[in-house]
Amino acid sequence: MSKLLYIEVSPRKDRSASIEVAQFFLEAYQDGSTDNQVEVLDLWDLNLPEFNGDTINAKYRVMHGEVPNPEEIAAWKTITKFAEQFKTADHYLISTPMWNFSIPYKLKHYIDIISQPGLTWSFTPEEGYQGLVTGKSATLILARGGEYTSSAEVGAMDFQRPYLEMILGFIGIKDIKTILIEPTLIDVETKEKSIAAGKKQAISYAKK
């Protein structure tokens, strides 16, 4: 039994390029195998908790080995639930648009919730930072209106791919495959070509 957690970020649903490619990945992943289980997290349908003062105090108490107060314990429990759910997966699929050269705030909110000391990473002066989500793999499907692979100058404006690959690596996920769907906003033909190429890549990664 193998579990894939699919994190869906675009609110555009049946008009979304990233979701269209992700659907091909999911079909190929589940094709002919009842062992492959999929859990879907639609970030627009998820009531993510605020990352407020009590939560931050709890985070620092955990980091410093101190005892949290009852409000902090309650806040930390809410956070723990999301991080524990995240860790139950063997594989991750994240499909997301680029927004303002980075990721949509819903995905950043989710990352701020699950990226926690003692849950998805640890720190000791001897060993430094260690990712705790190890032995897993991730596929990223990244849709963007522009074309960020066209030159180094434009590539330097891409904070979507480097950030996501870095933060997943930071929490321990080193086996990452990235599918770029770009450019989606130049003209329909170019967009369709990019989606078709992305679907081929998605099927090949899913089957692995």
Instruction: Give the footprint of ligand FMN on this chain (CB under 6 A).
Output: 10, 12, 16-19, 97-101, 143-146, 184-185
DSSP-assigned letters across all residues of 93-128: EEEEE-BTTB--HHHHHHHHHH--BTTTEEEETTTE
Cβ 191 to ligand FMN shortest distance, Å: 8
Between strands 91-97 and 128-131, the pairing is: unpaired
Contact 160, 198 (CB under 8 A): no
Pick the closer one to ligand FMN by CB: 77 or 200. Answer: 200
Site of tokens 């692979």: 149
Cβ 11 to ligand FMN shortest distance, Å: 7
Contact 10, 96 (CB under 8 A): yes
Q: Tokens for 12?
A: 């555009």
Cβ 98 to ligand FMN shortest distance, Å: 4
Q: Could you tell me which residues are beta bridge partners of residue 133?
A: none
Pick the closer one to ligand FMN by CB: 80 or 178. Answer: 178
Cβ 202 to ligand FMN shortest distance, Å: 13
What type of residue is 172? G
Pick the closer one to ligand FMN by CB: 131 or 145. Answer: 145
What is the SS3 assignment for 36? strand
Pick the closer one to ligand FMN by CB: 55 or 102. Answer: 102
Pick the closer one to ligand FMN by CB: 131 or 146. Answer: 146
Cβ 126 to ligand FMN shortest distance, Å: 41
Cβ 88 to ligand FMN shortest distance, Å: 26
Q: How many other C-beta atoms can be found within 10 angstroms of the C-beta atom of residue 119?
A: 21
Alpha-carbon gap, residue 70 to 196, rounded angstroms: 52
Pick the closer one to ligand FMN by CB: 96 or 115. Answer: 96
Alpha-carbon gap, residue 40 to 38, rounded angstroms: 6
